[in-house]
Amino acid sequence: MWDDAFPSFLIGLREGLEAGLIVSILVATLVRAGARSRLPQVWTGVLAAVALAMSFGAVLTFTAASMSGTAQEAFGGTLSVIAVAFVTAMVFWMRRSARSLSGEIKEKVTGALAMGAGMLVVTSFLAVGREGLETALFLWTTARAAGESAGPMIGAGIGIVIAAGLCWGLYRRVLKINLTKFFTATGAVLIVIAAGVLGYGLRDLQEGGVLPGKTAYAVDLSQSIDPGAWYSTLVQGVFNLTPTMTWLQVVAYAGYLGVVMTLFVRGVRTAAVKPAKPAEPVKSAEPAAEGEPAEKLARSAEPVASAVPAAEGEPAESAVDGKPAEPGAPARRRPAWLIPAAVVAVPAVVAGAVVAFGGSKPADAQTVAVSEKECGKGFTAPKPGRQTFQMHNTGDKASEVYLIDPASNAVYGEIEGLAPGTTRDLVATVAGGSYAWRCVPTGGKAVTSASVRVSGGTAGKAVVPVSEADLAAPLASYKQYVNQGLTTLVAQTKQLSDDIAGGNLDAARTDWLTAHRTYASLGAAYGTFQDFDKKINGRTAGLPDGVTDKDFTGFHRVEYGLWHGQSAGDLAAPAARLAEDVTGLQKAFPTQDFDPADLPLRTHEILENTLQFELTGDADQGSGTTLATADANLTGTRELLGVLRPLLASRDAQLLPGVDADIDRVQKLLDSAHHDQSWTPVDKLDATSRARLNGATGQLLEDLAPVPDLLEIRKSA
């Protein structure tokens, strides 16, 4: 969290100090001018600026939340680029203006005093509002990049509090700060941070399909750098640099940093060598920009109120709007709370309207019935955008319900296991096209509602349904692969048994690893092997006597004996039984029920088990070869994806390139643990290598997660 907090801390400190200096100068000028009664007008403007910034942040947050995933990427990327532009402009402006800030603000205050109360409110609002909007935009961008809001918000809050303390110290004449040096140093750091934000924003635009080159990687250090290590987290959180970056990101990062930092440093050097002009004596009423506020504030300012009407209720001017009152008429006064309340309420109301009309969740979401008799009752054509439907099961059976395109049966959203009498929200992005509801009660017939037509917007993204017929060809191909693997496995386990029976335990250890890897590569069928899997590859979990239990059989029983000094006589029976069970499986497999729906599920489950058992070493019974098993599991996953590839490519063209890249990363990490005929035991890996392997496997699992949903068999009418 703290690495994500630093960029926001810096922006909060810098923008807070900039805004705080402006407020301090406004307040000091009014106090020295004897116009304390105008201070509420300054605070009203400040309050309005804060309300505007917070409302702007709310609009960004809720508008993005109402978009589809792709649109969110494009929206976030665009705002990241805009934030970089604002931060860059702010850095250069403050570098130029730090020396003269005090004088410029004093001139504006003097003019505002002469023009009345309204202009003083506007002056303070405009002076602080710019910093507030820049801060809100930058905070939203950094929170999105961090993937969480706690760190950035805490960092910004701490920065703003410290900035407020510094400004109070300047105003009370207890601090001296060389503001030119401060803004120069923080400006240089912000340029580096902004370069990372630019790279992150461009990556978002690539993910959103706005810019090309999503898979054109210039840097891929995922095998040599652990993404979860503290130093990786720190670099990514502060500078938005990741182990994997595209060419566009790298070129933009290097180009921005090289050009902007060069111009910034050149400007700093130019300002440093300029001969200082003789300054005229000025009696200042506000903190000076060069670090001498304690002395400046102690001096009296030239009266500036002499050129303006008195502020203490003089009858010639209204105390509220500064306009001349009619002769003899009492001054009109409004309640003191009215204007502050209005400046807070107006931005909040406007932000609420923008969010409401921008497609956020409506308060009056449609309630749609789900049952065999009332499927879709209450459904009317929704407006385009992200919509929430309250699905209420009015029947007496649990039901699945899908929002579909009735022409193609493509699915836009779904709920599974909706119990009778219950209501759950279904959120879907609606665009131009036809929509209907399909209700599938448990044990009942699927029912499709009447369709409605939605106009406006582009076609929504839906998942094309998969039928058993679609999975028939992939299933046949995979069954053939398993049959061939079982034929090989029968020969390998027989050789293992023969070597043990002949007392050749060294050869048996090699045979064991070869055969076990063959079995592991058939992982997608393990749910089909029924009781054979427990006999062939069972572990000690749940066995009361552990490794000595009579029901501990198969590969791991033989492994335990081979690597724990048991004799050939002790292992002959377990090895022979293993060979018999494998032969039995080969004979039984053609008649076993292989559910087509299992294929998509196994793409994820094989490696889930790998992460749980092999990469933790939990499955190891002494051979230290769980990474070899993980390698075989990866081979099985690759084979399974091969038979499913045509179906996946037609439903999500962007999924497979990312998965293929993930598989290559995991494969390289496993290869690095393979040395000739030996494998590094997982518990002997150094902490960094083990973390990289776990992280790469976790990323692969995350990218494989959509596969079961994309290829789920859904019942049609």
- Residues 508-531 have pLDDT tens digits of 999 999 999 999 999 766 667 878
CA distance 81 to 251: 15
Residues 6+ apart with CB under 8 A from 580: none
Q: Looking at 274-395, list the stretches that DSSP marks H as alpha helix, in order from N- to C-terminal side.
A: 293-298, 338-357
The 8-class DSSP code of residue 307 comes to: G
Phi-psi region of 652 (alpha: psi -120 to 50; beta: other; left: phi over 0): beta
pLDDT at 284 over 60: no
Phi/psi of residue 292, nearest 5 degrees: -120, 45
**C-alpha dihedral (111, 115, 121, 123), degrees to nearest 10:** -30
Average pLDDT over residues 185-198: 84
Which is it for the CA torsion 694, 700, 703, 707, positive or negative? negative
Average pLDDT over residues 243-250: 86
CA distance 267 to 277: 18
CA distance 448 to 578: 52
pLDDT at 314 over 50: no
Nearest CA to 57 out of 122, 142, 146, 163 is that of 142
* Residues 59, 43 contacting (CB under 8 angstroms): no
pLDDT at position 327 is 47
Average pLDDT over residues 221-240: 64
* Residues 106, 33 contacting (CB under 8 angstroms): no
Please write the tens of the pLDDT for every residue from 401-429.
999 998 888 888 888 888 888 888 888 88
10 Å CB burial of residue 548 (0-12, 13-18, 19+) is exposed
Percent composition of the chain: helix, strand, coil (DSSP 3-state, to 5): 60, 10, 30
CA distance 238 to 65: 25
Task: State the average pLDDT for the chain.
Answer: 79
Residues 6+ apart with CB under 8 A from 669: 223, 689, 692, 693, 696
pLDDT at position 717 is 52
Say which residue, 79 or 174, is predicted with more confidence. 79
Q: What pairs with residue 424 in β-bridges?
A: 391
Average pLDDT over residues 522-546: 83
Q: Mean pLDDT: which of 127-136, 264-273, 503-512, 515-524 is highest?
A: 503-512
Place of tokens 């995922």: 222
pLDDT at 332 over 80: no
pLDDT at position 90 is 74
* Residues 449, 375 contacting (CB under 8 angstroms): yes
DSSP per-residue string spanning 111-174: HHHHH-HHHHHHHHHHHHHHHHHHHHHHHHHHHHHHT-SHHHHHHHHHHHHHHHHHHHHHHTT-
The 8-class DSSP code of residue 506 comes to: H
Residues 6+ apart with CB under 8 A from 699: 662, 665
Amino acid at 117: A
pLDDT at 254 over 70: yes
Residues 6+ apart with CB under 8 A from 91: 187, 190, 191, 194, 264
Instruction: Kindly report which listed range (4-18, 34-48, 305-319, 537-551) carries the lowest average pLDDT score.
Output: 305-319
Q: What pairs with residue 448 in β-bridges?
A: 438
CA distances 320 to 42, 311, 324, 326, 333, Å, are 13, 10, 11, 14, 6
pLDDT at position 66 is 54
Q: How far is Cα of residue 605 from the mean position of the Cα atoms in its chain?
A: 24
pLDDT at position 273 is 57
Token reading at 234 = 């720190």
**C-alpha dihedral (144, 147, 150, 152), degrees to nearest 10:** -50
Average pLDDT over residues 674-692: 91
Nearest CA to 137 out of 88, 170, 186, 184 is that of 88
Average pLDDT over residues 266-290: 52
pLDDT at position 312 is 37
Phi/psi of residue 327, nearest 5 degrees: -55, 130
DSSP per-residue string spanning 438-495: EEEETTS--EEPPPEEE-SSSBPP-BPPB-HHHHHHHHHHHHHHHHHHHHHHHHHHHH
Q: Mean pLDDT: which of 59-63, 306-310, 675-679 is highest?
A: 675-679
Q: How far is Cα of residue 108 from the mean position of the Cα atoms in its chain?
A: 43
CA distance 603 to 704: 7
Three-state DSSP at 300 gives: coil
CA distance 273 to 55: 44
CA distance 59 to 352: 8
Amino acid at 180: T
CA distance 418 to 173: 67
pLDDT band at 151 (very low <50, low <70, confident <90, very high): confident
pLDDT at position 392 is 92
Three-state DSSP at 369 gives: strand
**C-alpha dihedral (558, 562, 564, 569), degrees to nearest 10:** 80
* Residues 647, 474 contacting (CB under 8 angstroms): yes
Three-state DSSP at 214 gives: coil
Q: What pairs with residue 447 in β-bridges?
A: 439
**C-alpha dihedral (418, 423, 427, 433), degrees to nearest 10:** 80
10 Å CB burial of residue 583 (0-12, 13-18, 19+) is middle
pTM beyond 0.85, yes or no: no
